Amino acid sequence: MAISSYASQFTTGAGSIIGEITAISFSGITAAEIDVTQLSDTTKKYVLGTADGGTIEVSCNTTNAVIALPTSGNASPTSFVIRFGPQGTVSTPSVLATFTAYISNTSVEASVDQQVTTTYTLRLTGAITMSTSTTV
């Protein structure tokens, strides 16, 4: 059955997001499409190239904690684990996404009669693993 976004959070990874998270959006995990159509073919044929984890946008209500910023020249990505929905149990395992990423963009917005919000863009690097868990 479908799962609610309720209780979704960053969990066991080394990385965390500073702020009260209100939305998480994977922009698109993709694989390059390589056109291998020959002259003799009547329809287009493709094989897949390298997969790209893409980016994740995390929207937050800003808190009193120091806002995280991108680090120039960083070559050591941080590990993250996102759990969609509440903690998993034996009968209803949770759905997890495990990956490493850099904070590549931070934007902050303040406007009349609104809370201050921060949006972080995480650039995923390397493999992303989708799994389920009965304990996380």
Q: How far apart are CA 55 and CA 8, in angstroms?
A: 18
Closer CB to another protein, 37 or 71, in the complex: 37
Dihedrals phi, psi of 75, to nearest 5 degrees: -125, 15
Q: Do residues 130 and 97 lie in contact, with contact meaning Cβ atoms separated by under 8 Å?
A: yes
Q: β-strands 55-61, 9-10: how paired?
A: unpaired
What sign for the dihedral angle of Cα 11, 25, 60, 2?
A: negative
By C-beta, is 26 or 68 nearer to another protein? Answer: 26
Based on the shown chain and the rule CB under 8 A, indicate whether residue 135 belongs to the binding site for another protein.
Answer: no
Residue span binding another protein (CB under 8 A) among the ranges 11-19, 46-54, 65-73, 104-112: 46-54
Q: Is 41 in the site for another protein (CB under 8 A)?
A: yes
Using CB under 8 A as the criterion, which residues of the chain lie in contact with another protein when the complex forms? 1-6, 8, 22-31, 33, 37, 41-51, 84-85, 92-93, 95-97, 128, 130-132
